[in-house]
């Protein structure tokens, strides 16, 4: 297991919101619940996506985003930077760690949400891979990893939580 993946479970997880406030994963779930309860007639999706950027020293900067989408009517998001000192020599290794970070965050948030009475929502993981470009060689591996964990997966160009929201903060 990568350092990225183990870091998430060993320390308190803090997210940033759009106001620059830091929130725990429990507070993020409370904010998501409040957002859903504000308009309970709507359908909701909770989406997790991670993006990374390779640094000059071959380490990578990782950001995971949690998006709550009020289908047809906007949404909110929260993001966190993941400390990681691992050196990456291949794109595949970095993408696999992105997926592992998303999977770990998904399990953490879903466990937390089970403790609260949450409104009904769909859940997805967005992977920053697509049929066009250098990640096309590993798309099936990434999709398989996410599906093996019983999560719905979206890839580019539909993976906005990773390729747009998390990417914005990398």
pLDDT band for 30, please (50, 70, 90 cuts).
Answer: very high
CA distances from 33 to 26, 42, 127 (A): 11, 13, 24
pTM of the model: 0.90
| Sequence-distant (≥ 6) Cβ neighbours of residue 43 within 8 angstroms | 70, 71, 72, 121, 122
Distance CA 111, CA 105 (A): 10
Q: What is the token pair recorded at 10?
A: 């060993």
14 CB neighbour count, 10 Å cutoff: 15
For residues 28-39, average pLDDT? 96
For residues 77-103, average pLDDT? 95
pLDDT at 140 over 50: yes
Tokens 């798309």 belong to which residue? 139
> Do 165 and 67 meet the contact criterion of CB atoms below 8 Å apart?
yes
**DSSP letters spanning 70-96:** ETTS-EEEEEEEE-------SHHHHHH
**Measuring CA to CA, which residue among 144, 145, 128 is closest to residue 136?**
128
Least confident of 95-104, 112-121, 159-168: 112-121
Segments forming the whole domain that contains residue 35: 3-169
Question: CA torsion sign, 90 to 84 to 104 to 118?
Answer: negative
- Give the total number of structural domains in the chain: 1
**DSSP state at residue 120:** P
């Amino acid at each position: 297991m990568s350092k990225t993946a183990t870091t998430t479970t060993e320390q308190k997880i803090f997210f940033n919101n759009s106001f620059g406030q830091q929130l725990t994963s429990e507070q993020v779930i409370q904010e998501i619940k409040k957002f859903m309860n504000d308009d309970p007639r709507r359908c909701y999706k909770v989406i997790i996506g991670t993006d990374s950027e390779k640094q000059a020293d071959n380490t990578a900067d990782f950001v995971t985003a949690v998006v709550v989408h009020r289908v047809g009517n906007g949404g909110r998001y929260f993001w966190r930077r993941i400390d990681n000192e691992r050196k990456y020599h291949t794109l595949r290794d970095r993408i696999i760690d992105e997926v592992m970070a998303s999977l770990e965050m998904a399990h953490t948030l879903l466990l937390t949400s089970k403790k609260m009475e949450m409104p009904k929502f769909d859940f997805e993981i967005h992977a920053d891979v697509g049929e066009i470009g250098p990640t096309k060689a590993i798309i099936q591996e990434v999709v398989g990893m996410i599906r093996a964990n019983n999560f719905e997966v979206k890839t580019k160009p539909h993976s906005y939580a990773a390729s747009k929201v998390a990417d914005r903060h990398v």
